[in-house]
Structure 1
Amino acid sequence: MRTLGAGGAAGALRRFGARVPGAPVTVDGSPDLTRLFRPLRLAVVGAHDKRAPFDFMFRQIEQRVLKSGGVIFPVNPKLDTVFGHTTYPDLLSVPGDLDVVVILISDVVGTMTQVVQKKPKFVVVHATGFGEGGSEDGRKAEAELVAMAHGAGVRMVGPNTNMNMFEVLDEELTPKYGIVTQSGHQGRPLAAAQDLGYGISYWVTTGNEADLGLADFVDFMARDSDTRAIASYVEGFTSGESLRRAVRATIEQGTPWVLVKVGASPEAAAAALSHTGKLAGANDALDAFFTQHAVHRVTDLDELIDVTAALARVSSLPTADGVAVVSASGGTNAHLVDVLAGSGLPIPTLSERTQERLRELIPAPLGVSNPVDNGGYALLRGVGADIVDVIMDDPAIGVLVLPVSEPLPAMRQPIIDSAVRAHERGDKPVVTVSLMPSSNDPIFQEMTRRAIPYARNMRNAASAVHALLNHPARRFPDGVAPLAPARALAAPVGDPVVLDERESLRWLEERGLQSAPQVFVATDGDLAAAAEEVGFPVVLKAVVPGLTHKSDRGGVVVGLNSTEELTAAAATMSREFADDDLAGFLVARRLTGGLELIVGLTRDPLLGPVVMVGAGGTEAEALADTAVAVLPFDDARAGEMLRSLRIAPLLGPWRGRPALDGSAVVEAIGRLRAIAESGDVLELDINPLLVQEDGVVMLDAVVTLVGTTTGAPRNG
């Protein structure tokens, strides 16, 4: 992982300070949503003061508009007033220009005919019955709304959205995070976290995203001066381009984005589709995308709240990857280190100099190597804050995790003092963690008052530390988002062209990959000469265009030691594939030893080319030990993919066998990356790729090229 020195971390965080409160956030290609969230002139079509839930909705909108210093115009031909406001019979009767029109009634299309004449900046559509159900009629009706709005220069939220964006938020709570959700119900706990002292800048539920969508709101909040982090509940993405645009904004502005993304299971993906009509996306590819773009994925709303609030509160970035723990309890230390290290966080031993300084403050035999056990005595002696200083001075430490549950009332203030010292140093972040969270806890109240990062359990604390180490301002200190080649992301056209194994291996050899010595023969009469050329023992493989799993039908026979065995195997294959388009046979030298991997390339409909490496051979699917990356990525990421595999230890020295050539695997992944960047391949499997002591060799491969409208390969 790339790390920053103190100057680099501070420089990256300065991008936060460069944002001026109240400054315009208009960016090329991204709409300025200021007047959507802070409207000065807003009309509500279908306003009511006695009919639920429209009475409640109107009141909610009214409070937000008035707090913005604006004017609200209720539209209802059947009422004279709504909560004391004069009503108008139709939208065209409302005087002057409008920032926002909210449509609460079901006659959306009829109302839109007046919207296009009134030309507000935004229209918000509450009604359902459009594209969310997946029906063709619903999608057509939704497209009609968008066409009408765009024809008048109007941007639309919804349909199928609620009024969360107009809720009155507590302006006094700082720092703040923004909320973008695809479910109002799932967003409610995030906003209710104001009761825990967490500030909220904006909250929007995106609805069907027929026009304005998740990416637009994330983009806006990432550039907003009041928003220090963004929390999202996500069911799906409308397009890969919009997702990339959202992460580009978070990287450019150094604004962390934390999200719950459902759809990991087929059942959840189906539920998400039925809810908003969005594709869930391939889970492993999305995980890779998030990791590569410093987006932090969490498992539930509780974790989402703690992590996002912690990110909003930090005033510095880690200057190293190491994590330190200090508390008054050896048991707490052991438990917390188990959770932190178990999540993959490094817990380095403190330097000898640091331990010497700690021993001056902490009596033996209490541990001072990391975790640090102050035994409580040091706290009672008033040196807890000094201990924090010594630990955070260690150059290997980037984040301090500090349990703040008081074992004794006398330790309450010393614990607070330690947390305050760590936070106010301002050079490295601290994450405090409670073992018994309560809003009545004086320590919690002090952490809230001072805006010190606070987690309500150890898991959430570990997640917050991961998010800090992968903060976009730390990962991308120059604020430049990685861009995949446009050609690679372009949607393929034409019919795919599937190469047989012989053609696939030759195609890959032309691109720098090596295959085992082999000879193709069209008839069994040439088998003996082919075997003599490559040398026994050999492997015999049937060449059948379009057949990818030959071994399932006896199309691969290994360990043939004579011409007689070779001829007999070929005869059996000829009978098995008599009804197939058997093109001939490949006679290959049998290579032994090494480790079999699979490397491949596929296209995700949302994210484009996805490169994969994993445990290979005939058991590859059963083992399911794989890692993936999306474009763009570098060799360092390829190395991370390889090391993340469960079988990665087998690449090292193993039971008397020398280490295998892992660098050659990284190079092979790099060649697949170049192929992916060309945009010429739809799918590619090399299985197995045999890793030897010196180099890698392809033993089998299937390549499917992107076709053209003429049916030929785009680049064969």
Structure 2
Amino acid sequence: MKNDNLQKLFNPESIAIIGASPDKKKIGGRPLDYLQKYGYEGRILPINPKYDDINNLTCYPDILSAEGEVDLAIIALPSQAVVETFKKCIEKNVRSVIIFSAGFGELDEQGAKEQEEITALAEKHGIRVLGPNCLGMFNVKKGVYSTFSTIIEEEQPIESNIGFVSQSGAFGSHVFTLARQNKIGFSYFIATGNECDVDVADCIKFLAEDPGTDVIACYIEGTKDGAKLIEALQLAHENNKPVIAIKVGKTDVGMKAALSHTGSLVGADTVFDTIFKQNGVYRANTIEEFLDVTYAASKLPFPKGRNVAVFTVSGGVGILLADQLTENGLLLPETPESVKEKLRDILPIAGVQNPIDTTAQISYMPTLLEDFMESVLSSGKYDSAIVFLGFAGLKLDSLEARIKSLVKVKNLFKDIPQMIVTINSETSKQMFNDAGLYVLDDPTRAVIVTKALNYLSTAVIEEEAEQVEFPKGKELADSPSLLTEYKSKEILASYNIPITREALAVTAEEAVRYAGEIGYPVVLKGMSPQILHKTDKGLVCLSIKTEEDVREKFQELKTIIEETEGAGFEGVLVQEMLQKDSVEMYIGSKKDPIFGQMVLVGMGGVYIEVLKDVSMRKAPVSVNEAEKMIEELQASLILKSYRGKPAYDTKELSSLISKFSHFIASNPEQIAEADLNPVMVFTEGEGVKVADGLMTLENQVREERSALIASK
């Protein structure tokens, strides 16, 4: 019922406006005016006890007296009247509600309580609620204008195949206005406000299933339900609907501002970035990029590769484009020799190397551009085309012929996206738009769009990671609150994760026996649950080669622990000394409050903190995805064969990453943090071993929090 009622929210057959007004400048008057002015064909039911009729429509004193079924009720009343009005909507069996009113969770504790009450009532009765504190929405095709925004006061929005959802009404209005100035339209415009019920994920899911929407644009500050957002993004990808997002809250200051604005959790920005990449979302950094890429995705085919042909009337701009395309990972293959000859036959003075310089002769030879583009693109060597025309958009006397040529080329090469760059007037912009051509005024913007389309064309969502067969493993719930390296690795080993050969000795004689069984040289490590950073306290001794040294170092380590205030002695870990050629790597987990367990990979030892060269994914991941994580690292070259050095065992490293990711994903509530550092990666075929590992469990975190509260 709840999902059905999303249709009633966004495609209603009847709309009641509670707080309706004949004054179209008032919040309750604007939606009424828009619905009538822009041709909404459903039933409109004004609700206001002050009037018998408004704008030739019967006006009802309250929602209960309104005739017939009501798909959508708009509440445009002061906040203190909202909860009781909402209860009447439930009594009337209204299917969905939009609450314009502010003064709820964004304001104070009392407002938050009232918002929670609305949420609970909506859940109980299966009614969908957009808002409160929201600008509303509009559905252009159906003429549903359930908004009080002034952005559509003067003219009806342009209809297109772009669905736009924003967690900020003001941001959405700004983007809408810029879009309209650039002749860009929308299928839906949705502002979600405080999201007491319908959130950005619900809207993405709705748009992913809407037949009139092909591209989804969204402004996101945060989300309360990470799993729901991921599910919506995956659905959009499955339905071949690219998602372009602008996500704010990158910095601590920005995160605090976003939290106060929407009341939703914003999460760590790097985690959001990872979620977007894993789910094929293109993340824009500026409003200009957001609009450019969204519009391009709605109008242009996606390229089949990275090869770009550049046509330019300026050699200088050609060089600029060549530099920027290359810097962005795109390719400019050399023009084939046979094509060069054709181009020279057409214009001997032309620059025929890619970028291709048509020179100023383009103004005097009407078919020059068309002939050049046809010759080059028919070679089959290029996937995208950028056409720089200088200020041709201002020369209206010759523009029609130029557009005709470009349309002909576009129709000849339907699979090749064509980006036109020229300075425009309002008239020329409309001419390009009417011809179905994509036009920008800055060559750098064309480069960014080309890169974005390549990203969207190659974005692949990994199939659900295959299940890894684990032995049963130790129950984490039964583990002690404070875990040493020994206890942490004991748990890891029970899940079939390869650790060093080791044993815990509580006496010097035990340590000597274990060292003999493991084989010299060995490593000794002092174990105390209260001292987790062992190296800082001198609790690690390497390359121990004799029984005498074992006894001596055992006593030293025990003394350090016993002399440390508050530290308990668990024993001394006797561990094999790994001497084979290896590279130290790091594998770890981060429990994000929104998206759950994330798996991280980077260089090991101290380098993880110094270089901050880390790849991250939502756990679990497959072995294939783990391989991609390794490849993303700048340090991945170290693992490959070079200058006679052998390659290292990335196959087994990938397997370990995948296995570890399944381990943390299968214990989502118990593990707060886990670090395998270093993981020794041996040469190809020699495998991997976890030399050190440490886990923090949630029960430990809770105990520490309780102790902190008690101390205050």
TM bucket (normalised to shorter chain) is 0.7 to 0.9
Say if 2:575 is the partner of 1:602: no
Say if 2:203 is the partner of 1:213: no
Tell me if the contact between 1:310 and 1:454 (Cα under 8 Å) persists in the aligned partners: no
Q: Which residue of the partner structure matches residue 423 of structure 1?
A: 410
Structure 1 pair 514–405 and aligned structure 2 pair: CA distance change class (3 A): same
Q: CA deviation at 1:460?
A: 3.8
Say if 2:635 is the partner of 1:663: no
Q: Matches of 1:645 and 1:448 in 2, distance apart? A: 42
Structure 1 pair 483–29 and aligned structure 2 pair: CA distance change class (3 A): farther
Structure 1 pair 456–210 and aligned structure 2 pair: CA distance change class (3 A): farther
Give the secondary-structure state (helix, strand or coil) at the position aligned to 1:30. helix
Structure 1 counterpart of 2:200, which letter?
L
Q: CA deviation at 1:310?
A: 0.8
Say if 2:700 is the partner of 1:698: no
Structure 2 counterpart of 1:221, which letter?
L
Q: CA deviation at 1:434?
A: 3.2
Alignment of 1:107-118 (within 5 A): 107-118=81-92
Q: CA deviation at 1:485?
A: 8.6
567, 581, 590: which one pairs with 1:580?
567
Structure 2 counterpart of 1:128, which letter?
A
Q: Which residue of the partner structure matches residue 674 of structure 2?
A: 684
Alignment of 1:144-183 (within 5 A): 144-165=117-138, 166=145, 173=158, 175-183=160-168
Structure 1 pair 41–670 and aligned structure 2 pair: CA distance change class (3 A): closer
114, 121, 132: which one pairs with 2:95?
121
Tell me if the contact between 2:303 and 2:417 (Cα under 8 Å) persists in the aligned partners: no
Structure 1 pair 44–55 and aligned structure 2 pair: CA distance change class (3 A): closer
Q: CA deviation at 1:594?
A: 3.4
Q: Matches of 1:347 and 1:582 in 2, distance apart? A: 64
Say if 2:628 is the partner of 1:640: yes
Give the secondary-structure state (helix, strand or coil) at the position aligned to 1:201. strand
Structure 1 counterpart of 2:130, which letter?
V
Q: Matches of 1:184 and 1:693 in 2, distance apart? A: 56
276, 298, 311: which one pairs with 2:262?
276
Q: CA deviation at 1:41?
A: 2.7
Q: Which residue of the partner structure matches residue 488 of structure 2?
A: 504
Say if 2:15 is the partner of 1:42: yes
Q: Matches of 2:298 and 2:68 in 1, distance apart? A: 39
Q: Which residue of the partner structure matches residue 76 of structure 2?
A: 104
Q: Matches of 1:337 and 1:352 in 2, distance apart? A: 19
Give the secondary-structure state (helix, strand or coil) at the position aligned to 2:170. helix
Q: CA deviation at 1:601?
A: 2.6
Say if 2:40 is the partner of 1:68: yes
Q: Matches of 2:476 and 2:577 in 1, distance apart? A: 38
67, 74, 85: which one pairs with 1:95?
67
Structure 1 counterpart of 2:67, which letter?
P
Q: Matches of 2:288 and 2:631 in 1, distance apart? A: 31
Tell me if the contact between 2:24 and 2:33 (Cα under 8 Å) persists in the aligned partners: no
Structure 1 pair 565–419 and aligned structure 2 pair: CA distance change class (3 A): farther
Higher relative contact order (CA 8 A, sep 6+): 1
Tell me if the contact between 2:74 and 2:97 (Cα under 8 Å) persists in the aligned partners: yes
Larger deviation: 359-368 or 208-217? 359-368
Q: CA deviation at 1:156?
A: 1.3
Aligned CA-pair RMSD: 3.7
Q: CA deviation at 1:79?
A: 4.3
Structure 1 pair 76–32 and aligned structure 2 pair: CA distance change class (3 A): closer
Structure 1 pair 124–524 and aligned structure 2 pair: CA distance change class (3 A): same
Tell me if the contact between 1:380 and 1:414 (Cα under 8 Å) persists in the aligned partners: no
Q: Which residue of the partner structure matches residue 18 of structure 1?
A: none
Structure 1 pair 640–87 and aligned structure 2 pair: CA distance change class (3 A): same
Larger deviation: 267-276 or 510-519? 510-519
Q: Matches of 2:657 and 2:380 in 1, distance apart? A: 34
Q: CA deviation at 1:447?
A: 2.6
Structure 1 pair 464–387 and aligned structure 2 pair: CA distance change class (3 A): same
163, 169, 184: which one pairs with 1:198?
184
Structure 1 pair 183–493 and aligned structure 2 pair: CA distance change class (3 A): farther
Q: CA deviation at 1:395?
A: 4.6
Structure 1 counterpart of 2:303, which letter?
P
Q: Matches of 1:532 and 1:356 in 2, distance apart? A: 78
209, 222, 241: which one pairs with 1:223?
209
Structure 1 counterpart of 2:278, which letter?
Q
279, 284, 287: which one pairs with 1:301?
287
Q: Matches of 2:449 and 2:283 in 1, distance apart? A: 11
296, 307, 326: which one pairs with 1:310?
296
Structure 2 counterpart of 1:129, which letter?
G
Structure 1 counterpart of 2:629, which letter?
M
136, 161, 173: which one pairs with 1:188?
173
Give the secondary-structure state (helix, strand or coil) at the position aligned to 1:577. helix
Structure 2 counterpart of 1:522, which letter?
V
Q: CA deviation at 1:353?
A: 5.9
C-alpha distance after superposition, 1:113-163 (max 9, x if no partner): 32122222211112223333574x444322322333454443211111123
Say if 2:385 is the partner of 1:397: no
Give the secondary-structure state (helix, strand or coil) at the position aligned to 1:207. coil
Q: CA deviation at 1:227?
A: 1.9
Larger deviation: 413-422 or 644-653? 413-422
Tell me if the contact between 1:485 and 1:677 (Cα under 8 Å) persists in the aligned partners: no
Tell me if the contact between 2:72 and 2:97 (Cα under 8 Å) persists in the aligned partners: yes
Q: CA deviation at 1:355?
A: 5.5
Stretches of structure 2 that go unaligned for 5 or more consecutive residues are 139-144, 470-474, 704-712
Q: Matches of 1:526 and 1:351 in 2, distance apart? A: 75
Structure 1 pair 171–31 and aligned structure 2 pair: CA distance change class (3 A): farther
Q: Matches of 1:124 and 1:462 in 2, distance apart? A: 41
Larger deviation: 49-58 or 552-561? 49-58
Q: Normalized against structure 1, the TM-score is what?
A: 0.83
Stretches of structure 1 that go unaligned for 5 or more consecutive residues are 1-27, 712-716
